[in-house]
Chain A
Amino acid sequence: MRISCPWLRDFVDIDILGVETTEVADALTMVGLKVEEIQEFNDNYIFDVEVTTNRPDCLNHLGIAREIAAHFRLRLKPPDFSPPQNEEHNATILSSSVTIENSDLCPRYAARVITGIRIEESPDWLRARLEAVGQRPINNIVDITNYVMLEVGHPLHAFDYEKLQENRIVVRTAKRGESLITLDGVQRKLDSPMLMICDAADVVALAGIMGGEESEVSEGSRSILLESAYFNPATVHRTAKSLGLRTEASFRFERGADAEMPVKALNRACRLIQEIAGGTFASPVMDEYPNPQPQRTLQLRSERIRKVVGVSVDAEFVTDTLPRLEFKVSHAQEGVWEVKVPSFRVDIGIEDDLVEEVARHYGYDRIQTTYPAPSGIGSFLSTHNHDRILTRTLGRFGFLEAFNYVFTNPSKETPFWNHPPSMVAISNPLTEEDTHLRVSLVPGLVEALRRNFHRGNKVVRLFEFGKVFIPSDSGDAEDFKETPRLALLATGEFYQPFWNTFRDEFHFHHLKGIVEVLLEELGHQAEFEARSDIALLHPGIAARVLVNGEALGVLGQLHPRLQETYKFLQTVLVAELSLDPIYRDPLREPQYESLGRFPSIQRDLCFVVDKKVEYATMLSALRELDIPDLQDIQLVDLYQGSTLPWGKVSLAIRLTFANPKKTLTQEEVNRYTDEIFSVLKSTFSAEARS
């Protein structure tokens, strides 16, 4: 809201203070009307005031002046709201009437007819004031209605009296099929709950929002009907929203205008019209106000002020401040006041609202800080340590944490799933890109990778913690699961560029090792199961991750199809894990296991086996032998190359034997080793290799 300093001076003598304009602005800011900016306009200062939605009474100069006057303890000089002087009615009184059909939507409607006016350009002073606050001058009548709105906050509307059928006003809801061309030249289709201003036959204005083009005051107008009404905030809000039309008038009415202002504002406008546009009053003030709104009365206890604000405010301060804001204060009993709320303060409904009034003008900055007494020990979320361990572990491997939007759309997702996935839809998306909620973190990371490749970043390791939104099979839009996941993506050189090391591309088993460590850090042993049916992964380089037989997620190389879609030249590894099963288990303290006093003995076994034999199968066959002294089996070499028959692979495993009670003999170890090899030989056709 733009507020002009010279205009404020009409109502409050700020010059008497002898302070800088900035000080006035600071004072406003500190009573809750933040001055965002002070602009200079034609040698005058304009305040850009941020008026919170609860204070429609401050969407005008008088309201702002009232706050300044109260703060600096100055006298507020409101404009003259009394009926215009010399209003002897002409012989030619024009007939008119006002009928309100929906008094709940339009509690009050005041109007007056003025005839013999000259429609012309407004005088310079008026034009200058409007322009200073960003209002474009139109003609004297329209400018006066705008002026009064900016001055005292009440929106007015002038109709061309002669364009109104039967010269009368009916306030009613629209009938189905009715329409109106508004002042902005747009044809508006109307619907039944919308409140309309009509003449005897047709709609002439959208109540509280905008007038119609047909009845607009124009150069040829000689008589006008000036409307000053009070409309129900909700109805104006609904209609403005459904028509997508927001105006200065609707903005004020939907926040709450002053039900006691219509006649005062009408008088004020009539005075200005008389002064500027001439004319004679051709009707009395018609004021339809069937159910006058009762004045609200609240109790205010000084003890409540102390309790809520935390300071004891002098009784004199309260009884001096509130009347300056036009509250009527009377002493009810010791420490209790009865406070009558002015009609323009639509925001005041309970005692604590009055507490705020006192506190605002007392000054929040004068409140001495205190500290609440301790009430227990602080604590993190139960998942805090899980997340911390996962993050720290990923950090060890050079992963960077990514944050992606949760939004996606079917065409972006389709390549990942071979078909459009079932997703939760946003019913009012802002863009065509962001229409649904993600069902996986992987597409977002792949998109982030694409951006990185574009910018020349070839070595990329990202992880993301985030929620996904999985619809249930029921098809019910409100039936879905919001569940946390962790996803990993890695591509490029495994080792950092260095002058003294190997080169290796980040591949499946690197990521697998990382997933194993991640789960191990949380006390879980990961298992992996080859899968060829995961749409986004290479069918031959993909696995499901399990813990205690429960599927946790997937791991693998991005499917070549996606690789092509995204024009990636490097292989990309991804993993995605559900976190709920991980969070479910509390973290366990490590439990010490005896190191064993007797030395362990190692034996290496080298053998050639068919490539199709899964390592894990061999491993579990060996474990089934149930040799208690066999402590560990480690794969130390894998070779497949031209010196081997096609389809064969050479493996070297290192067996570690130990017994907690004795030193094993060579004979025992040899026997174990032979037993192990014979199983490899008989079950997997392994051939020894030296």
Chain B
Amino acid sequence: MKTAPDRVHPLWDEFCRHLNSVSSLVELSDLKDKYLGRKRGLISLELRKLGALSPQERPAAGHELNELKKRVEKLLSQRTGEFKEKERLRKLEMEGIDVTLPGYAFAPSAIHPLRRVWKEMEEIFVRMGFAVVSGPEVESDYYNFEALNIPKGHPARDDQDTLYLSENLVLRTHTSPVQIRTMENQKPPIRIIVPGRVYRRDAVDATHTPMFHQIEGLLVDEGISLADLKGTLEVFFKVLFSPDTRVRLRPSYFPFVEPGAELDISCIFCAGGGCRVCKKSGWIEILGAGMVHPRILERVGYDPEKYTGFAWGMGIDRIALLKYQVNDLRLFFENDVRFLRQF
């Protein structure tokens, strides 16, 4: 069917004029009623008049009116969208807050710096295949001294001034007794670390506390040498401090190892160039170590010709001092919340 050519209905211009003067959603709704209202809407009224037209006139007029209605509806909905968007923007703007106000300060939490470095060290050694074991803080004289080649009268007993509970019982002066306890109950291979609390009869100052913490290590197997000790601890310190860290093994003496050694690490502050911390030497003394004394292996029933092993003991507190650049050991035991919060 052919349709009559499009002709703009006179109401169109009028509607467009009205629409341009509309300034709110409410006015827009009124305008909609005025033209499209079911009963009194101008276009609705026109549509109703169609029935009065002749069948020849009706299709063209009907088409014209329907086109008009569509265009009006489209414009109205378009304009409604515009007004809604404007409204939304105004609302969003009103809802704005000062994002620079402080956020809720959730209570900080922290583990103790000594625990922090203790756990970090534990994790590295566990990754290297060591098992963590523990032992009592109150030890017998036997495990703390005798079994470690430190009989009564040995000068090493003076070096470690000991807190005694009775003639037989001491607050352990090192974590080394757990070496003996472990070897007595296990066959090689042994690969353990022993973190824990130790005690000495020392007056409190910036570099001494009567209670401190150590990590003991022990590895016993066939074919273990001083070179393995060096390699193992080198890997450990590279992970703990940085891949650039170098280690240096020096001869030293501890009654329960032979050969004995001390291990230095390249100064973490000056990278070996020489500073106040390393006393210009470029090296920081970090632990005592050595090959497990054959007499100790014999004492626990190992054949020292078959098995060799190495052991070390390092101070957790000292490493925490270095790592967190704390300058006074006493801070670790004062429990000032301003200090604890930093870790």
| Contact A378 B253, beta carbon cutoff 8 Å | no
* Among B109, B115, B259, contact of A309 (Cβ-Cβ < 8 Å): B259
Q: Contacting chain A: which of B66-74, B81-89, B244-252?
A: B244-252
Given known contacts A379-B126, A448-B335, A55 and B136 CB-to-CB distance under 8 angstroms: no
Question: A400 to B115, alpha carbons, bound, how many Å?
Answer: 12
The answer, among B137, B156, B250, B258, for a CB contact under 8 Å with A32, is B250
Interface residue? B14 (CB, 8 A): no
Closest to A364 in B: B249
B110 and A401 contacting across the interface, CB-CB below 8 Å = yes
Nearest CB on A from B183, distance (A): 15
A310 touches B226 (CB 8 A): yes
Check B335–A308 contact: CB distance below 8 A.
no
Question: Bound complex: CA of A459 vs CA of B106, how far in Å?
Answer: 13
Q: Find out whether the CB atom of A307 lies under 8 angstroms from the CB atom of B138.
A: no
Q: Pick the contact of B137 from A238, A429, A467 — CB < 8 Å?
A: A467
Q: Is the CB of A400 within 8 A of B109?
A: yes
Tell me whether B75 is interfacial, beta carbon within 8 Å.
Answer: no
Q: How distant is the Cα of A255 from the Cα of B157 in the complex, in angstroms? A: 12
Q: Tell me if A587 is interfacial: C-beta within 8 Å of chain B.
A: no
Q: Which residues of B contact A234 (CB under 8 A)?
A: 153
Q: Measured between C-beta atoms, what is the minimum distance from B13 to chain A in Å?
A: 57
Q: Chain A 391-404 against B: per-residue CB contact (8 Å), 1 yes, 0 no?
A: 10011111111111
Which of A352, A403, A497 is close to B335, meaning CB atoms less than 8 Å apart?
A403
Q: How far is the CA of A243 from the CA of B201 in the complex (A)?
A: 19
Task: Tell me the B123-154 residues at the A interface (CB within 8 Å).
Answer: 125-134, 136-138, 153
Of A171-179, A198-206, A366-374, the segment with at least 4 beta carbons within 8 Å of chain B is A366-374
- Taking CB atoms and an 8 Å cut-off, the chain A residues in 410-455 that contact chain B are 424-431, 434, 437, 445, 448, 451-452, 455
Contacts of A31 in B (CB 8 A): 251
Asked if B26 is an interface residue, CB under 8 A from chain A, the answer is: no
Query: Assuming A371-B228, A401-B340, is B106 touching A499 (CB within 8 A)?
Result: no
* Cβ of B205 to closest chain A Cβ, rounded Å: 12
Tell me which residues across on chain A come within 8 A of B137, comparing CB atoms.
406, 467, 482
Chain A proximity of B325: nearest CB distance (Å): 19
Separation of A360 and B290 alpha carbons in the complex (Å): 12
For the complex, is B287 an interface residue (Cβ under 8 Å from A)? no
Contact stretch, chosen from B17-25, B32-40, B51-59, B164-172? B164-172
**B216 CB–A CB distance under 8 Å:** no
Report chain A residues within 8 Å CB of B106: 398, 496
A54 at the interface (CB under 8 A from B): yes
CA distance A622 to B255 in the complex (A): 68
Could you tell me if B156 and A53 are in contact, using CB atoms closer than 8 angstroms? yes
The segment from B3-11, B42-50, B231-239 that touches chain A is B231-239
State whether B226 touches A426 (Cβ < 8 A): no
A378 contacts which chain B residues (CB < 8 A)?
125-131, 191
Q: How far is the CA of A501 from the CA of B112 in the complex (A)?
A: 30
User: How many B residues touch the partner, as a band?
Assistant: 35 or more
Complex CA–CA separation, A373 to B48 (angstroms): 99
A627 CB-CB contact with B under 8 Å: no
State the Cβ distance, B203 to closest chain A Cβ, in Å: 6
Q: A403-B332, A462-B335, A499-B101 are in contact. Are A52 and B253 (CB under 8 A)?
A: yes
Is B223 an interface residue, CB under 8 A from the partner?
Answer: yes
Q: A311 and B125: CB pair below 8 A?
A: no
Q: What residues of chain A lie closer than 8 Å to B111, measured between beta carbons?
A: 391, 395, 401
CB distance from B316 to the nearest CB of A (A): 11
Residues 332-372 (chain A) with a chain B CB within 8 angstroms: 347, 350, 352-353, 355-356, 359-360, 364-365, 367-372
Per-position 1/0 for A454-474, Cβ under 8 A of B: 010101111000010100000
Which of chain B's residues has its CB closest to A431's CB? B203
Fill in one digit per residue for A495-527: 1 if any B CB lies within 8 Å of its CB, else 0.
011110100000000000000000000000000
> Any chain B CB within 8 A of the CB of A29?
yes
| Neighbour of A427 across the interface among B107, B165, B202, B232, CB < 8 A | B165
Contacting residues of chain B (145-203) with chain A, CB-CB under 8 angstroms: 153, 155-156, 159, 162-166, 168-169, 171, 189, 191, 197, 199, 201-203
The residue on A at minimum CB distance from B136 is: A482
Using Cβ atoms and an 8 Å threshold, which residues of chain B touch A430? 163, 201-203, 210
Contact B105 A52 (CB under 8 A): no
User: For B92, what are the chain A residues with a Cβ–Cβ distance below 8 Å?
Assistant: none
A451 to B335, CA, bound (A): 8
Does the CB pair A424–B132 fall under 8 Å? no
How many residue pairs bridge A and B at CB < 8 Å?
246
- In the complex where A52-B253, A401-B115 touch, is A369 in contact with B231 (Cβ < 8 A)? yes
Which residues of chain B are near A184, meaning CB under 8 Å? none
Compute how far the CA of A460 lies from the CA of B308 in the bound complex, rounded to whole angstroms: 51
- Tell me if A30 is interfacial: C-beta within 8 Å of chain B: yes
A477 to B164, CA, bound (A): 12
| A381 interface hit (Cβ, 8 Å) | yes
B230 CB-CB contact with A under 8 Å = yes
Q: Is B95 an interface residue (CB 8 A)?
A: no
Question: What does the 1/0 interface line of B203-229 toward A look like (CB < 8 Å)?
Answer: 100000111000000010101111110
Contacts of B162 in A (CB 8 A): 428
The contact of A308 among B114, B127, B225, by CB within 8 Å, is B225
**Do B336 and A455 touch across chains, with their CB atoms under 8 A apart?**
yes
B337 at interface, CB cutoff 8 A: yes
Residue of B nearest to A383 (CB): B134
Q: Are B253 and A55 in contact (CB under 8 A)?
A: yes
A496 and B105 CA atoms in complex are apart in Å by 6
The answer to the question of B12 belonging to the interface, with a C-beta cut-off of 8 Å to chain A, is no
Closest to B203 in A: A430
Is A34 an interface residue when CB atoms closer than 8 A count as contact?
Answer: yes
- Bound Cα distance from A350 to B257, whole angstroms: 12
Q: Are A310 and B341 in contact (CB under 8 A)?
A: no
By a CB distance below 8 angstroms, the chain B residues around A501 are: 104
A460 vs chain B, min Cβ distance (A): 6
Q: Is B93's CB within 8 Å of the partner chain A?
A: no
A266 to chain B, nearest CB (A): 26
Are A396 and B251 neighbours in the complex by a CB distance under 8 Å?
A: no
Is A589 an interface position by the 8 A CB rule?
Answer: no
Contacts of B129 in A (CB 8 A): 374-378
Flag whether A384 is at the interface (Cβ < 8 A).
yes
Does any Cβ of B come within 8 Å of A405's Cβ? yes
Q: How far is the CB of A648 from chain B (nearest CB, A)?
A: 36
What are 16 residue pairs bridging A and B, where the CB atoms are less than 8 Å apart in the complex? Answer: A37-B279, A307-B308, A308-B259, A352-B294, A360-B259, A364-B249, A364-B251, A369-B234, A372-B219, A377-B129, A381-B134, A401-B110, A428-B201, A451-B335, A477-B165, A497-B105
5 additional A-B pairs beyond A372-B232, A376-B129, beta carbons within 8 Å, are: A52-B252, A310-B227, A350-B294, A364-B248, A367-B226
Q: Which residues of A line the B interface, CB within 8 A? A: 29-32, 34, 37, 52-55, 233-234, 237-238, 254-255, 307-311, 347, 350, 352-353, 355-356, 359-360, 364-365, 367-381, 384, 391, 394-407, 424-431, 434, 437, 445, 448, 451-452, 455, 457, 459-462, 467, 469, 477-478, 480, 482, 496-499, 501
Q: Which residues of chain B have a CB within 8 Å of any CB of chain A?
A: 101-102, 104-112, 114-115, 122, 125-134, 136-138, 153, 155-156, 159, 162-166, 168-169, 171, 189, 191, 197, 199, 201-203, 209-211, 219, 221, 223-228, 230-232, 234-235, 248-253, 255, 258-262, 279, 291, 293-295, 308, 332-338, 340-341
